[in-house]
Amino acid sequence: MGKTSSNQRLPRAKGIDMAAYYTVKECESRVKRIVLPDRNRQIVEEFITILGMKERFKEHDVPIPNKIVMFGPPGTGKTLTAFYVATRLELPLLLVRLDAIIHSHLGETASNVRKIFEYAKATPCVLFLDEFDAIARTRENNDEVKEMSRVVNTLLQCLDEFEGDSIFMAATNLETELDHAIWRRFDTKMAYSLPDEKERDQYISLLIGGFGQEDQLQSIAASILQGSSYAEMEQIVLKAKRKAIIEDSLLRADHIEEAFAEYQPKR
């Protein structure tokens, strides 16, 4: 990960930076094998197009979108999308560290949330918060409703005041547990699901790349990995490649099968 300059030092809590900082080059290196569903690719392209036409939208008094929430099962590409958007916008990405901003005293948590948003307002970046529900959980039927309300209220204020050249992106696997007021603050929403056949084939092709393989391996692998997330497919194919390298052989179906059995993806 890249380092911020001394005059752009990240806010700290518990003695550590509140976010991990990734340079544009580091973001670019992470998205070489991204597969976006057609609908989400369209949303991202439109979002980026609008940001490149700010003056036209200002002329018509139409607000510029600057907040994206992504939701769906784990391992389906939400985090990778944040790196992709940062790459396309040529902005560094700040991956918020929940272990740093969440404090046993929730008053401190609210203060930390404000600090990281203030940093993003002053320093152009893509501010990304994964597991967003940890601080944006609904205030209804919450055992710590009073203290949690303070965090959610602060977050609402930060979202309302968020402006400038930065983008805020959030991801959650539990979108139904987000506070309704938080949900309404996002001008762009992207749904994720397990890859379909087309997306699975495309991703497996990217994962195998130029690695030597036996005939028909890709279609066999696509069948074996049906129902797997992108994250699961990546780990299984990498494990299979290691087996092939150890044997100094082509990548074979039995390597994929053995890797699948060893990885034991949840179903």
**Strand 19-22 relative to strand 16-17, pairing:** unpaired
Q: How many residues does the chain have?
A: 267
Residues 137-180 have pLDDT tens digits of: 776 655 555 667 788 889 999 999 998 899 999 999 988 888 89
Alpha-carbon dihedral sign for residues 77, 80, 114, 163: negative
Residues 11-23 have pLDDT tens digits of: 888 788 889 999 9
Q: What does the pLDDT read at residue 177? A: 86
Q: Where are the alpha helices (DSSP H) in 71-196?
A: 78-89, 98-101, 106-122, 133-136, 145-161, 180-184
Task: For residue 191, give the amino acid letter.
Answer: A
Residues 44-68 have pLDDT tens digits of: 999 999 999 989 998 999 999 999 9
Quote the crossing angle between the two packed helices 106-122 and 145-161, to the nearest 10°.
10
Q: Over the chain, what is the mean pLDDT?
A: 89
Closest by CA to 217, choosing from 182, 248, 192, 250, is: 250
Token pair 């087309």 is at which residue? 198
What is 114-138 written as a DSSP string? HHHHHHHHHS--EEEESSTHHHHB-
Model pTM score: 0.88
Quote the crossing angle between the two packed helices 253-263 and 230-247, to the nearest 10°.
120
Sheet of strand 67-71: strand arrangement: 19-22, 93-96, 126-129, 167-172, 67-71, 188-191
Quote the crossing angle between the two packed helices 197-208 and 217-224, to the nearest 10°.
120
In order of 24, 45, 169, 227, the CA distances from 49 in angstroms are 19, 6, 17, 33
Cα–Cα dist 159/168, whole Å: 9
pLDDT at 8 over 80: no
Cα–Cα dist 241/2, whole Å: 29
